[in-house]
Structure formats: structure tokens, C-alpha cells
A and B are shown apart, each in its own frame.
Chain A
């Protein structure tokens, strides 16, 4: 179960990355954030940001054009 959900479908660079960061700042340590989006590069780059921030990447799933990324703060 995710504590916070973020929908950035249809958004393009740099919005998905920026919105993930905003949501992570608002989350409490240990919270799980689930992000749904369609911007192709963000599927690779959000995990890069997660790594750079030292957080835990729980999963990256893709179905058609839509990806779902789960992060633990």
C-alpha cells in the first residue's frame, strides 16, 4: 500500500521529476510514494533521482505507455 499517490500522466520534462521531489519532501520518513506517469525518460530518471537522494526504489512497472514507480522515503 502506498501512503501517497502522485499522478503525472501527460506531464513532460521536468515536471515528473520535480513533482516526485515535492511529494518526497512532504512525505514522512518510511512513507511509500507511488507515482504514475507516461513521460518516457522519467521512467529511467526518477530511479536515478531516488538513488541520488539515497532512498529506496521499491518497484518500476510498465503497462503500455504508462509506468508506475514506487519509492520508500
Chain B
């Protein structure tokens, strides 16, 4: 049975006004609505996307809200015809040989795919924002992108507005 409206669901938690600290412990289980991680995903490298989603899913699992801002090379990984995991390794890619080896070792170690990480991210209430300037520069239309993953299209102002209220903010 699903209980989406219980306080464990951060999106259901009442949002305190900006700048005000509260101890939101209604029913003893509500994470403070403030605890937020905001991450810019600028890189399209396979290993960096892996890091971004693992950190995000950890943060969501530990009760934080998470927003990922996909821009530039990161955004190209959200293209329908691109494939989330189609990027090269940031180091030692060796024309794909290095990546092939890393993927094989990941499989052996039981590491999950980027697609699985992205699905878990959505299920736990994470939000993905797509940079509209990158879309204009690269000639990417909304219908070219994975709209099943994207929450909103925006630019820097939305990122700053979230980042200034975040306890974790990273640029990957």
C-alpha cells in the first residue's frame, strides 16, 4: 500500500518561507523541508553522470530534496536518441575500450545502470531541469528530449534560486 501523502514524502511537506529555519519534525519523521541538494550536470561523461545520480539518490534516500540542472554536454545525454550512458569516460576512455572495461567491471561488482539510477531518482521525487539556452545553442527541441525525466525547462535564475537555499550544491 502506498502512502504518498505521509510526511516521509518530502514533496508533501509544507514549505517554510525562505530564510526561516524550522525544525520540521511533525510525526517525528519529517526531514526538514530545507535540506536540499542542487547539482549542475554540465558534463556528459559517463562516469560523471554516474557520480551525479549516485550522490542524488543517496541524498534523496537520506531525506533531502534534490534538483539536477542539466546543461551543455550533460543535457545532450537527455536526448531521446542519445542514451543516458552513451558518454565517454572522463579519463582513459581509449576510444571506448576503457569505458567497455569499466562497464564490465561495474556489472561484475553489481553496480546498477544509469537508467536504473534515473528511474530511482524520479521515484524518490528528484527533479530534473533542462537548460533552455543549451537547447537553443545546440538546436535541441523539447520533443527531442527525455520528457519522462524532465520536470521543467529553465535558465540560470531558477538554479540560483534553488542553490541559494541548498545545503549541498555541486557542479559536475
Q: Does B62 contact A52, Cβ atoms closer than 8 Å?
A: yes
Q: Does A18 contact B3, Cβ atoms closer than 8 Å?
A: no
Q: How many residues in B have their beta carbons less than 8 Å from beta carbons of A?
A: 28
Q: Does A53 contact B29, Cβ atoms closer than 8 Å?
A: yes
Q: Does B63 contact A (CB under 8 A)?
A: yes
Q: Does A18 contact B124, Cβ atoms closer than 8 Å?
A: yes
Question: Shortest Cβ distance from A3 into chain B, in angstroms?
Answer: 11
Would you call the interface of chain B mostly helix, strand, loop, or mixed?
A: loop
Q: Does B30 contact A (CB under 8 A)?
A: yes
Mask of B107-120 contacts with A, CB within 8 angstroms, 1/0: 00111100001001
Q: Does A73 contact B8, Cβ atoms closer than 8 Å?
A: yes
Mask of B19-33 contacts with A, CB within 8 angstroms, 1/0: 000000101111100
Q: Does B86 contact A (CB under 8 A)?
A: no
Q: Does A49 contact B61, Cβ atoms closer than 8 Å?
A: yes
Mask of B55-87 contacts with A, CB within 8 angstroms, 1/0: 001101111000000000000000000000000
Q: Would you list which residues of chain B between 96 and 152 have a CB under 8 Å from chain A?
A: 109-112, 117, 120, 123-124
Which residues of A line the B interface, CB within 8 A? 10-15, 17-18, 20-22, 24-29, 48-49, 52-55, 73
Can you spell out 20 A-B residue pairs with CB atoms less than 8 angstroms apart? A12-B111, A13-B54, A14-B58, A14-B117, A17-B57, A18-B57, A18-B120, A21-B61, A21-B62, A22-B124, A24-B8, A25-B9, A28-B1, A49-B63, A52-B31, A52-B63, A53-B29, A54-B29, A54-B31, A73-B8
Closest 7 CB pairs of A and B: A21-B61, A17-B61, A49-B62, A12-B110, A52-B62, A14-B57, A53-B63
Which residues of B line the A interface, CB within 8 A? 1-4, 6, 8-9, 25, 27-31, 54, 57-58, 60-63, 109-112, 117, 120, 123-124
